[in-house]
Each structure stands twice: as structure tokens, then as C-alpha cells.
Amino acid sequence: MSNQILVTGGTGFIGSHTVVELQNSGYDVVIVDNLSNSKIEVLDQIEEITGIKPKFEQFDLTDKNKLAGFFEKYSNLDAIIHFAASKAVGESVEKPLMYYHNNLNSLMNIMQCMNDFDVNNLVFSSSCTVYGQPEKLPVTEQTPRKEAESPYGNTKSICEDIIRDTVYANSKLKGIALRYFNPIGAHETAKIGELPLGIPNNLIPFLTQTVAGIREELSVFGDDYNTPDGSAIRDYIHVVDLAKAHVVAIERLLENKNQKAYEYFNVGTGNGVSVLEIIESFERATREKVPYKIVDRRAGDIEKIYADTSLANDELGWEAKSTLDETLHSAWKWQKHIMA
Ligand code: WQD
């Protein structure tokens, strides 16, 4: 009997790629999603990749009665991976209460049900945004968290504290937070990928839509940063490498290999790459031209951040494997697929 894993937000970008890797590793997956930022067709696309259509329930995790009913129905859950959250940085500045309501209540309802229904293992989708602009690079897990740059980032930081405190109050619970850097790219089959609704906030979908002719020109937000080419630096990680880190984290918990009841890990490549280097890499990998212009910095952006991944490498036995060119090529293949 294979372990049953609840994946909240499992029809989303990172969630769907993680469901594929869980199924490839023999786990039985059930998805809960409210479809506010994803499409139900993703279930069919996952099935096309793995041959297994995940079980699916549609409701909002802020509805604690619906969630309790779900836990009654699925009474043999072994672990939970919690992705479901609102995640647009800019939107969170305009609608902070919506972000605090959704992201905090969803997590608190999940943890209440973990207590009530004896489900003891949680992997949480956190973010490097909890570090703000670090003084020292690369960022390790000992780098102090900073005042978040946005309500979105603050919800991630608060959620980490909620998990830590709840886990320490119930000796049966174990939790791992994975602090993502910048997830990009798509599954090699191009059957699943990033599906931003409306005008993309993030660099890669805007870039691929520009090359595809959907957007006029890519704006590079600033070339006056204190970096080698003046554009801002991030740690871009292939979404499939990120998905695999979740499987490893689940295994760590199910096999009781965790050192502490609550742990957190940086999940990045360890390489800092600038926006202009992304453009160069994309053009090299795809032989396509990226029309762009340099504009002013975007408010709230930090200058540079990239991960020290040695803890995840050593403790989880995980590392990102994809090259930047391969990752950007997968993003372009996905863009062409969704336009076909
Ligand atoms: C990357 C770089 C921009 C768009 C945010 C969240 C993080 C996670 C990922 C949710 C920056 C530059 C961007 C554009 C540009 N969110 N850029 N032109 O801001 O690093 O991270 O998204 O999970 O938690 O903080 O990602 O892709 O928006 O920006 O020049 O049209 O690309 O200035 O330097 P970011 P991003």
C-alpha cells in the first residue's frame, strides 16, 4: 500500500510538477485546489505524463468545515505538501488583508486538521523572500530573516513561525519548510508549466511571451545595481529540480530521518544570474532574439540574492541538476506548446 500524500495547490505551477515527481516515485496523490489560479485540465496533463490521474477535490482551504470533511473522507493520509497560497508580490501590497486571510488561515486550518486527524508530516512552500536583501551572500539557513519586502513575503515568514510553534507543541508533528529561490522552466514534455493569468509579473513568462510576440518588449528593471552588468541578480532553479526536492523532503519525514521536528532548507542552484545574463542564456539556448529595453528599477526589488545550498545538498542528498540553458529552453518549449 503506497503512502498517500495530500498536495494542496497541486494544479498550480510548482504543485503540478511536484505531483508528477511524487507519482513517479510511487506515491498516491490527492490534490486539493480552489482553482483560483490554475486550471482543472492540469489533472489530465499530469495523467498524460505519468499515466495516473490524481484524485482531486475542489474547495477553499480557508473553509475549515470543508477541510475537516476532506480529512474525514481521506482518513489515511501520510503527509501533506502545502503549496496553496496567493503569491503575487505586487497584488499583496494592494490587498494585504486578502493575503493574510488566505495564506495564514489556510495554513492554520491545515495544521488544526493535522492535530485533529493525526496526520503528522508537513512540507511547506516557503520562499527566499524571507531573507529580504541579505547583507552577506550566498544566503545560508543561518542568514537572519529580515523584515519582508511585501505582505506576501511576510505571510511566508509568519507561516514558518506557525509551523515551528505548532510542531513544537505536538511531539507527533514534523515539518520541513523549503525556501525556494526563483522557480522557472517547465516539464520536458511541455504538458505542464507556468500559466500566469493576465500580464506576468515574473521575468521568465514575460520574456517568453515577448519572444512569442504576445508582449511588445521586455522591460529590464534597472541596470544601475551594484552588480557586474548592472542588472539584478537572482538564483533561478528549474521547477523539476525544485519538485524533486519536495519528494526528498517527504521521504525524510516518512523515514524519520529529520534531525529536528522543524527544519528549513534553501532550495536553489547556488548560482547568481543577472537579468541580462538570463537574456543572453535564453538567446543562446533557443536561437531566438529577446527584444528588450532598460527601464527604471521596480519598487521593492532587491539587488541580489542567491543560495548557499550545502545544507540541502548534505542533509537532503539533493542538488539542482539542470543547467540554465536547459531550463530556459524548457520555458520556451512550454510557451510554444501553449500557443500551438
Ligand atoms: C526576477 C528579476 C526583476 C520582470 C518574486 C517573489 C518570489 C517568487 C518569485 C512567488 C528581478 C526582473 C522581472 C520583468 C525584469 N514569487 N524583472 N522585468 O521578484 O525575484 O521574486 O517572484 O513564489 O517570492 O519575490 O521574481 O521574476 O518578478 O523578477 O527585469 O518584466 O527579473 O527586477 O530582478 P522576484 P521576478
pLDDT digit string, tens, across residues 282-298:
999 999 999 999 999 99
Give the whole-angstrom CA distance, residue 333 versus residue 211: 12
pLDDT in tens, 24-68: 999 999 999 999 999 999 999 999 999 999 999 999 999 999 999
Q: Which secondary-structure segment (H or E) carries 219?
A: strand 218-221
Give backbone dihedrals phi and psi of 157, rounded to 5 degrees, phi first.
Answer: -65, -45
Retrieve residue 39's grid coordinates. Answer: 486550471
> Which residue's C-alpha cell is 519536495?
246
Tell me the CA–centroid distance for residue 232 and ligand 1, in Å.
10
pLDDT of residue 85: 97
- Cα separation, 90 vs 203, whole angstroms: 14
pLDDT tens for residues 134-173? 999 999 999 999 988 899 999 999 999 999 999 999 999 9
Q: Is the CB of 89 under 6 A from ligand 1?
A: yes
Gap from CA of 71 to ligand 1 centroid (Å): 36
Ligand 1 atom at minimum distance from 152 CA: 24
Helices (DSSP H) in 170-319: which residue ranges? Answer: 203-211, 239-254, 275-286, 310-311
Q: Give the separation between CA 215 and CA 73, rounded to whole angstroms.
A: 45
Does position 340 have pLDDT exceeding 90, yes or no?
no
The reply to whether ligand 1 has any atom less than 6 angstroms from the CB of 37 is: no
Nearest CA, atom 27, ligand 1? 202
Note the pLDDT of residue 30. 98
Average pLDDT of span 185-209: 95
Do 269 and 183 meet the contact criterion of CB atoms below 8 Å apart? no
- 156's CB contacts (< 8 A; 6+ apart) are 103, 126, 127, 129, 130, 148
pLDDT of 221-272, one tens digit each?
A: 999 999 999 999 999 999 999 999 999 999 999 999 999 999 999 999 999 9
pLDDT at 179 over 90: yes
- Which residues are catalytic, by number? 152
Using the atom order of ligand 1, give the atom closest to the CA of residue 231. Answer: 34
Please give the pLDDT value at position 315. 97
Cβ of residue 221 lying under 6 Å from some atom of ligand 1: yes
Distance CA(46)–CA(24), nearest Å, equals 11
Residue 34 Cβ contacting ligand 1 at under 6 Å = no
Would you place residue 317 in the very low, low, confident or very high pLDDT band (cuts 50, 70, 90)?
very high
Beta-sheet pairing, 28-33 with 121-127 = unpaired
Give, in degrees to the nearest 5, the angle at Cα 156 between 219 and 267.
Answer: 75
Distance CA 38, CA 11 (A): 6
Say yes or no: CB of residue 16 within 6 Å of ligand 1. no
